[in-house]
Amino acid sequence: MKQMTRAVLLCAALTAAACTNGNRFGSDSGFNDSGVGVDGINADPSSPVYFQQTVGDRVFFTVDQHVLTDEAKFVLSSQANWLLTNADYLAVVEGHADEQGTREYNLALGARRANAVMEYLIAQGVPRERLKFVSYGKERPVEVCSEEACYSKNRRAVTIISAGLGL
């Protein structure tokens, strides 16, 4: 729990916009070495801030699905590269669902999503022992409206990185 708490605090320390940013698939997304995040925050490419803002910490899913879209695979390939470059970090993949579903089912659905992300990262070469996944079902929405505009942002898997034993 220590690792997760740290990551959550890190997220909280950034602006709310940075944590829920929908613009991460723009021109600044992908693996680059500018060291500047999308919000202009100077960030070391090996920092969690860089991972979160520049690499992109989350991918989105369609209704009731856990299949990775091409867009998601692009982000996850960048995540895998980052994790391979920064081998001291561990990651927990958090799976989420929108509110349109029953509680238990959404927990299981979030697990499917998080697991799909984790397996993709493993397939890209990230060692399994550095990864874990957890589902929050519909318990932790980032957007609060009851419309597809919000649901599409809540159906997500977020890769939360934390310092491993080496740091």
- Could you tell me how many residues make up the chain? 167
Q: How far are the Cα atoms of 45, 101, 148 from residue 159, in angstroms, in the given order?
A: 16, 23, 23
Q: Is 91 in the site for other proteins (CB under 8 A)?
A: no
SS3 134: strand
Q: Are 141 and 102 in contact (CB under 8 A)?
A: no
* Binds other proteins (CB under 8 A): choice among 15, 103, 123, 127: 103
Candidates 33-41, 52-60, 76-84, 95-103; binding stretch for other proteins (CB under 8 A): 95-103
Under 8 Å between Cβ of 138 and 108: no
Of 35-43, 68-76, 81-89, 140-148, the window that binds other proteins (rule: CB under 8 A) is: 140-148
Q: Does 124 bind other proteins (CB under 8 A)?
A: no
Minimal distance, residue 96 CB to other proteins, in Å: 12
**17 lies in the site for other proteins, by CB under 8 A:** no
Mark 46-85 with x for binding to other proteins (rule: CB under 8 A) and - for no binding: --------------------x-------------------
Residue 105: which residues within 8 A CB-CB, separation 6 or more? none
Among 44, 70, 144, 166, binds other proteins (CB under 8 A): 144
Burial class (CB in 10 A: 0-12, 13-18, 19+), 151: middle
For residues 58 and 66, which CB has a smaller minimum distance to other proteins in the complex? Answer: 66
User: Does the protein bind other proteins through residue 101 (CB under 8 A)?
Assistant: yes
Helix/strand/coil percentages in the chain, nearest 5 = 45, 15, 40
End-to-end CA distance of the chain: 17
Is residue 21 a contact residue for other proteins (CB under 8 A)?
no
Footprint of other proteins on this chain (CB under 8 A)? Answer: 1, 4, 66, 92, 99-105, 107-109, 111-112, 115-116, 119, 132, 134-136, 139-146
